[in-house]
Amino acid sequence: MKTKLTIILALLFMVTLLFVGCEADEPEEIDEAEPEDKTVSIYTHNDEPEMQGILEALEADTGIQGEILRMSSGELWSRIEAEDPNFGADMVWGMMHSFALRAEGMDILHPYDSPEWADISDEFKDEEGRWYGWSYWYNAIAVNEELIEEAGYDPPSSWEDLLDPKWEGEIVCPDPGTSGTAYLIVSTIMQIMGEEEGWDYLHELDKNVDQYTKSGTAPAQMVAEGEYMIGLSWDMGVFNRIDEGYPILAVIPEEGVGYDLDVAWILQGAENLEVAKEVIDWIGSEAGMAAAHEHRDMVTREEVMDVEFEANFIDYDASWAAENRDRIMDEWREIFAE
């Protein structure tokens, strides 16, 4: 009896050892979580190649993928107003400061106190964290050197020079109804000359303008390709084409030019809110500003600027531009729109 019990116990012991051995041989299960999907949808008025370059730097530094929808400033603002409060994007990155000022009273900006912006001057950000200004841009005139040389003309040097009858049909401008670049031109003229004289100037300028384009960059491209002698545009719209080897030069009118703070903000109800906050942080960081500076003359983190920048800026009043935009644009469309 004892012998049989001993055999049974021995067999049980051997089975136990075998089971434990098999468990030891099995590979340990590893919890391999899927990488976090960090995507943010963005509205922008910036040129698409510019934004793609900056977004590549964003993804390399943070893993965040940005999906953009690009429109001119006027079109983008109209879309935002139409969508309120159900926006089709998480944030806006690339928009005129004057629109941010208008948006402040509409409850469409999600406030966020970003630590990366703490040491950037208060003039470049909203005190409640509703918007952040990351770069400046300004108006510039593109002139096709080859065409004016063939015609025996000197390039214009001022806003007043553009009224010379010799430029009739040789000037292309953006449309203030759709382009933030164009509205910056119009509001600059108003602020330099006063409204009454400003309207007189725009009437005279219109005599020389062959067409108005939806985009603020289009006039620079059309002048670069030899379609027109002169195009009213913005700084990087002109300088990028100079860098690409086109025979154009940039003219900053001697009376001065307006400039605008380019801003970013998070939209209320953002689906990817935490990712959008990370993007705001990155935009204000040294890495983000350095990436932006590869595409912009001026950024708002001073230590990133590699040269001291000088330009003939007027004392541009963005608040006035915001408060009077609708009134001025309604009048402009009534007079000049076909």
Residue 108 has a CB neighbour count (10 Å cut-off) of 21
Over residues 174-211, the pLDDT tens digits come to 998 888 899 999 999 999 999 999 999 999 999 999 99
Confidence check: pLDDT of 307 > 70 = no
Q: Where are the beta strands (DSSP E) in 202-337?
A: 209-213, 230-234, 248-251, 259-266, 298-299
Superfamily of domain 138-258+323-336: Periplasmic binding protein-like II (3.40.190.10)
Which segments of the chain belong to CATH 3.40.190.10? 41-136+260-305, 138-258+323-336
Q: For residue 23, what pLDDT band results from cuts at 50, 70 and 90?
A: very low
- Is there a contact between 207 and 200 (Cβ–Cβ < 8 Å)? no
CATH number of 41-136+260-305: 3.40.190.10
| Cis-peptide into 174, omega within 30 deg | no
State pLDDT tens for residues 96-149: 998 999 999 899 999 999 999 999 999 999 999 999 999 989 999 999 999 999
Residue 146: Cβ within 10 Å count: 12
Q: Which pLDDT score is estimated for 336? A: 86
Q: Is the pLDDT of residue 20 over 50?
A: no
Q: End-to-end alpha-carbon separation of the chain, Å?
A: 113
Q: pLDDT digits over 244-279, tens only?
A: 999 999 999 999 999 899 999 999 999 999 999 999
For the whole model, what pTM was predicted? Answer: 0.78
Q: Give residue for tokens 């409850």.
A: 107
